[in-house]
């Protein structure tokens, strides 16, 4: 649970920085996402989730 809260905090920090530093670009990206086809959004979401799970697994199981 500790790692989940840390990840959520990092997500909020990164999003907050993006909103503060590039508000126009964030608005354009949100409008582009709203106009995107549902199937493309689903594919991007599944891909991002798979990459995220893979990255967490890699970091947890391999010490560099």
pTM above 0.85, yes or no: no
pLDDT of residue 56: 85
Number of neighbours of residue 2 by Cβ within 10 angstroms: 6
DSSP label at 50? H
Query: Cβ neighbours of residue 25 under 8 Å, at least 6 residues apart?
Result: 18
| Chunked mean pLDDT (size 10), the chain, 64 residues | 89 96 96 95 96 89 75
Residue 13, both tokens:
């920090």
pLDDT of residue 11: 94
């Amino acid at each position: 649970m500790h790692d989940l809260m840390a990840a959520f905090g990092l997500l909020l920090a990164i999003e907050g920085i993006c909103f503060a530093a590039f508000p126009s670009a964030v608005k354009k990206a949100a409008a582009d996402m709203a106009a995107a086809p549902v199937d493309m959004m689903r594919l991007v979401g599944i891909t991002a989730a798979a990459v995220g799970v893979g990255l967490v697994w890699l970091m947890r199981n391999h010490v560099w």
